[in-house]
């Protein structure tokens, strides 16, 4: 594999590589956390709910701030996954095994791992309850519970995944079924869906469409495939610069995009998908498929939907600039479970983690937060097996690009970054609290241009 620095040549690339080397020198070897050396206490200085990307990242940062013995993470899952790579797993470009590691290996050393599920949040009493009937109190609470997949809201799912020809890159249980459906494709409709709810990584539903089209071309099946993207949205992408580039690809590759079409039922035994027309309530359409990729409806975790920390829609109600809760000053939120008006991605979590670290630091000193989150998020739009459009933007849906070139162009260098560099950054720097997004790189690159 050609290294990224060999593709993006020049002094700025060398600077980038140097920064990565410096970053990795700050972190020590991975330490396995067993959580069995001492019993869990019932009070912590900082309690983190969720052991996903936001939770582990903030636990690592808080460990350095208050000491490992004063931090705990509540997380029931035995394995932690780097989910952005599942797009490539579903297309056969990466192995599923490369995406997961034991949760014990990513919990910061010395931080308590409470292997339980949160059942209730009581911010008025500064405590939470777990499914093993434990009550845990805190001085500061960080909520990083992620987003919930609601396959069951589509009639015929999840049981329909027992049938062939159907998959979903959003679940560890179904992502390999996408690759199987792609390999088994013979002739007919290949359908890709986007639901009528917020989702994490909003670019992923169409990434697998572009990869599938490339696979069909590579295997001589393209002429037999009618590729359809049925989305509940009214546009292909929320940022015009990247939407224009994607529309050109859609036109060139003869892909069919239907807007305001929401998947409501899968008849897997008949290989039929039923869509509702959101512009004409009650009107439905049945389409037969040879391959179906489902992006499920998503929602806040059930424990948050009626919680006092959440807004009317069930998302954790935080200030969009500081990530501090709007009503409970010792409560904070990060990532997919919050109502931050930006795209829900791992890149957004990285940027948010640096801001939240600063916010909590000044709150602990009884000062007012001044560092503000600008809504930065990123979506590497995979458009083939060796091409990516790197979309980066802010709250205003304006491009907020890192590199000194037009990122709306398909590039091999950006694919290599997505496939190889980003997983490295995730496991070795972000989860250890040393990666707060590319803001510093952006400043350095653009200073170099001035």
- State the CB neighbour count (10 A cutoff) for residue 449: 7
Q: Give yes or no: 18 in active site.
A: no
Q: Is 288 helix (H, G, I), strand (E, B) or coil?
A: strand
CA distance 117 to 268: 33
Residue pair 324/369 in contact (Cβ under 8 Å)? The answer is: yes
Q: Is 372 helix (H, G, I), strand (E, B) or coil?
A: coil
Q: Would you state the structure tokens that stand for residue 32, as one six-digit string?
A: 């396995």
CA distance 268 to 139: 50
In DSSP terms, which residues pair with 386 in a beta bridge?
A: none
Q: Would you state the structure tokens that stand for residue 134, as one six-digit string?
A: 């434990």
In DSSP terms, which residues pair with 120 in a beta bridge?
A: 129
- State the CB neighbour count (10 A cutoff) for residue 312: 7
**Which among 150, 48, 147 is positioned nearest to 106, based on CA atoms?**
48
CA distance 241 to 397: 10
CA distance 239 to 390: 12
Q: Would you state the structure tokens that stand for residue 433, as one six-digit string?
A: 């609290």
DSSP tag of 202: T
CA distance 70 to 133: 21
Three-point CA angle 193, 199, 203, nearest 5°:
65
Report the catalytic residues.
201, 379
């Amino acid at each position: 594999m050609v290294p990224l620095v060999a593709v993006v040549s020049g002094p700025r690339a060398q600077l980038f590589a140097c920064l990565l080397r410096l970053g990795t020198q700050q972190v020590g070897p991975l330490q396995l956390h067993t959580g069995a050396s001492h019993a869990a206490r019932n009070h912590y200085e900082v309690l983190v709910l969720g052991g996903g990307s936001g939770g582990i990242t903030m636990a690592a940062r808080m460990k350095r701030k208050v000491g490992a013995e004063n931090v705990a993470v509540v997380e029931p899952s035995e394995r932690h996954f780097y989910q952005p790579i599942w797009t490539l797993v579903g297309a056969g470009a990466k192995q599923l095994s490369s995406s997961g590691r034991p949760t014990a290996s990513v919990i910061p050393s010395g931080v308590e791992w409470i292997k339980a599920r949160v059942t209730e949040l009581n911010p008025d009493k500064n405590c939470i309850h777990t499914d093993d009937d434990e009550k845990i109190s805190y001085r500061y609470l960080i909520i990083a519970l992620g987003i919930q997949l609601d396959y069951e809201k589509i009639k015929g799912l999840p049981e329909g995944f027992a049938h062939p020809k159907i998959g979903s890159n959003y679940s560890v249980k179904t992502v390999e079924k996408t690759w199987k459906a792609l390999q088994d494709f013979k002739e007919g409709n290949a359908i890709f869906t986007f639901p009528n709810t917020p989702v994490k990584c909003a670019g992923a539903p169409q990434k697998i469409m572009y990869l599938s089209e490339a696979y069909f071309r590579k295997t001589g099946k393209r002429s037999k495939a009618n590729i359809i993207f049925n989305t509940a949205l009214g546009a292909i992408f929320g940022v015009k610069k990247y939407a224009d580039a994607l529309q050109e690809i859609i036109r060139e590759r003869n892909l069919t995009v239907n807007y305001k079409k929401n998947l409501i039922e899968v008849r897997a035994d008949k290989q039929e998908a039923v869509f509702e027309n959101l512009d004409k309530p009650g009107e439905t359409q049945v389409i037969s498929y040879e391959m179906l990729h489902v992006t499920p409806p998503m929602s806040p975790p059930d424990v948050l939907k009626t919680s006092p920390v959440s807004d009317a829609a069930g998302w954790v109600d935080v200030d969009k600039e500081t990530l501090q809760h709007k009503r409970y000053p010792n409560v904070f939120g990060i990532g997919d479970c919050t109502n931050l008006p930006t795209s829900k991605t791992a890149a957004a979590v990285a940027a948010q983690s640096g801001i939240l670290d600063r916010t909590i630091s000044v709150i602990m000193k009884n000062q007012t937060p001044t560092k503000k989150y600008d809504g930065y998020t990123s979506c590497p739009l995979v458009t083939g097996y060796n091409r990516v459009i790197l979309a980066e933007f802010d709250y205003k849906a304006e491009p907020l690009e890192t590199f000194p070139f037009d990122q709306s162009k398909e590039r091999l260098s950006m694919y290599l970054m997505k496939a190889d560099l980003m997983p490295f950054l995730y496991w070795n720097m972000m989860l250890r609290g040393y990666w707060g997004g590319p803001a510093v790189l952006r400043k350095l690159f653009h200073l170099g241009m001035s």
